[in-house]
Amino acid sequence: MYVELSDADIARRIVDGDREAEAELCRRMGPRIRLYGLRHLRSPSASDDLVQRVLLQVLESLRGARLRDPEKLVNFVLGTCRMIVLDLRRSAHRQEELLARFGDLLVPESAPVPALDDQQLARCVQTLKERERSVVVMTFYDDQTAAETARFLGISEANVRVIRHRAIRQLRGCMGATL
Amino acid sequence: MDYWLGALPAADEDSVEQHLMVCDECGDRLRDIIALADSLRMLARSGSLQVIISDQLLERATATGLRIRAYAVRRNESIQCTVAADDDLLVARLAVDVSAASRIDLSWCDSGGVERQRMADIPVRADAGSVLCQQSITWAKASPTSTMTARLLAVDEHGGEQLLGEYTFHHTRTIPGPAGW
């Protein structure tokens, strides 16, 4: 029943004190917040911490009826993510304090990141054209920007992005059903 | 992938993040991309790929404490080389003037001069002065004592080839293993 409710309806029920709605919010938003964390924090454990802190703050705001428009729940969650990521970057020790305080509360089940066949991927990478392979290696070795790669290759950043897109598309095709 | 790499303009990144907060299907797709990116990172850092790399990448690898075995070879020079068990990366710097060439191929030949592998249209700037080729460390550690020659070739639009430089590597095996392939 709760699965079918809209985000706004979930928010309204939480304001009314419905604990099942709180659990549904955590199940629904936890994995999405974790993805945001992976993108911005580049760390699974830091992303898990982010999930806890965002959910805690969102639930406290909803319980206190501080979200005026329930239709804006997603915006509120995203805004909270952004603020807490900034905060996490500023003060890592404060994060540890909060974790110690709230322990394992509000930990949603996270969708796992799928595992790939690394040997197959290596074979696929070797089938790329030389230029594509160099771009892939330089991009992923340590998140080199398109600008840095472009300087090495003596081409434009736009061209680097085109080469990278083509290579990724080929790799996804080569990896077949596993991607 | 551009979102994951942080390569989107701010407005586009905002739109993607708004969408990911309501679409689990796209979230699953992003997880696939993260898995691919993570595996590519490990592969790129493993030293097991044969690939043309930049000086910058080599500097970063050095800065992270990797053990790099690098051979700088002049044009038409022969060198003795090996690889140790605790080496992480194997790199050959081939000195060459490529300023007049539009396409460069790197051909790997055995001791009889027979081409065993060709890296076609390698990425190299006209003003580079050298080609930095990472050889697979996995392959090198398993390789028996042997001689290989790298040939840098300028290839024109009709497929005609001009030898720019030849570099011979006399590899001595120092890691225990079979005498031949």
Spell out the domain ranges in chain B. 10-46, 51-171
Query: Most confidently modeled of A94-103, B40-49, B87-96?
Result: B87-96
- Which of B129, B131, B135, B140 shows the shortest CA–CA distance to B174? B140
Q: Are A68 and A97 found together in one domain?
A: yes
Question: Is A107 contained in some domain?
Answer: no
Q: Where does the pLDDT of residue B144 fall: very low under 50, low under 70, confident under 90, or very high at 90 and above?
A: confident
Contacts of B28 (CB under 8 A, 6+ apart): A111
- Which of B17, B23, B7, B19 shows the shortest CA–CA distance to A38? B17
Question: Is A111 contained in some domain?
Answer: no
pTM reported for the whole predicted model? 0.74
Predicted pLDDT at B110: 92
* B19 in contact with A, Cβ within 8 Å: no
Predicted pLDDT at A94: 60
Options 2.60.40.2140, 1.10.10.60, 2.40.30.30, 2.60.40.4070; CATH of B51-171:
2.60.40.4070
The CA distance from A79 to the nearest CA of chain B, in Å, is 10
Q: Where does the pLDDT of residue A100 fall: very low under 50, low under 70, confident under 90, or very high at 90 and above?
A: low
Residues of B in Cβ contact (< 8 Å) with A143:
5-6
Q: Are A123 and A50 found together in one domain?
A: no
* CATH number of the domain residue A94 falls in: 1.10.1740
Q: Are A84 and A21 found together in one domain?
A: yes
The answer to whether A74 contacts B28, with C-beta atoms less than 8 Å apart, is no
Question: Is A52 contained in some domain?
Answer: yes
Angle, helix A130-141 to helix A118-126, in steps of 10 degrees: 130
Strands B68-73 and B89-95: parallel
Q: Are A70 and A131 found together in one domain?
A: no
Structure-block tokens of residue B134: 């990472």
The ipTM, to two decimals, is: 0.84
| Three-state secondary structure of chain A | CHHHCCHHHHHHHHHCCCHHHHHHHHHHHHHHHHHHHHHHHCCHHHHHHHHHHHHHHHHHHHHCCCCCCHHHHHHHHHHHHHHHHHHHHHCHHHHHHHHHHHCCCCCCCCCCCCCCCHHHHHHHHHCCCHHHHHHHHHHHHCCCCHHHHHHHHCCCHHHHHHHHHHHHHHHHHHHHHHC
The CA distance from B110 to the nearest CA of chain A, in Å, is 20
Predicted pLDDT at B135: 92
The total domain count for chain A is 2
Question: Is A11 contained in some domain?
Answer: yes
Question: Is A109 contained in some domain?
Answer: no
The answer to whether B37 contacts A133, with C-beta atoms less than 8 Å apart, is no
Q: Are A57 and A96 found together in one domain?
A: yes
- Mean pLDDT computed over every residue of chain A: 84
Q: Where does the pLDDT of residue B109 fall: very low under 50, low under 70, confident under 90, or very high at 90 and above?
A: very high
